[in-house]
A and B are shown apart, each in its own frame.
Chain A
Amino acid sequence: MMILLTGGSGCGKSFYAESLCVKLPAPRYYIAAMRPFGEESLKKIEKHRRMREGKGFETIERYTDLASLTLPMRGTVLLECICNLTANEMFDENGSYEDPFERVIKGTDALLSQSSHMIVITNDVSSDGRIYDSGTMAYIRALGKINAALAQRADTVCEVVCGIPVIRKGALPF
């Protein structure tokens, strides 16, 4: 079973995702795709870590190439987030993929095949109407395409608005 959660910055996606995960069977794996870089991301990582405390997650840091990841056991997976993963595949020291679509989708498919339940967090970055450099534009388009492919695979797609889940496909398990 796969749930895709989307929503803008600061909409409460992470908190909502964790509230779903704790109702799903253990073991629970938190796949962290945000590379710790700079004070701000460290703070964000620390905030997320504190929020997850006591919820029974094993944290696995993985910034690129999810396809080669083997989980210790079948369980509930929380993948956060596709925006970072996609950016890493494109712009990271290990990532130089002009079109990260295949890499990201193969990776999420591989994770899905190893999980009983998978919750994937993404974001829509395409709604500010600005024109960026060609690399950023390629990123925006790639993420849009990846999000659409993930939504096709997902049993449930849910947009989080002001902390409120708004269903876009399927139904929530509870």
Chain B
Amino acid sequence: MEKLLSIIFIYILVDNFVLQRFFGICPFLGVSRKMETAMGMSMAVVFVMALATLVTWLFYTHVLVPLRLEYLQIVAFILVIASLVQLVETVLRKISPTLYQGLGIFLPLITTNCAVLAVALLAVQNEFTLVEAVVFGIAASIGFSIALIIMAGIRERLELAKVPGALQGTAVTLITAGILSLAFMGFRGMLSL
């Protein structure tokens, strides 16, 4: 229990996937323009990361380890995650059109996201148990969501601010992301596994 709690705390704040590990920078910059899209993306990421860690962990321990093919984990995980998301999308469209429309375009978008792959790989590398792996996946995705939503909030305000000509657009976004990352560095060393 103690370990689960520390996993949650570590991967939401201390070892934040986006701001400390620099995974998933692409959606972090790409969909943080509006709060609405950031929320949609966050929901989809939580959903996919939780599922992906569960399935890849099972796949690793019950398929790759017995076959002694651990060195194929990256390729295999990409294959598993891509098929999984595709499958989930097909099933969702049938049984829950509302959820399907809510997650919308974000679901296929994150299929090949590095943050999702990282979650699967790290879960195996850290030798987590199944429960720990799933909790890790959820915590990491919540950390991702927090970073994305904070960023979207800042960028919505930035739209109305006076930005010097040379810094407009991507420049000021990257500077903001850097400062945000520095702020999260304050959590460094508070807790470790």
Q: Is this pair of chains taken from one and the same complex?
A: no
Q: A: which residues have CB within 8 A of B? A: none
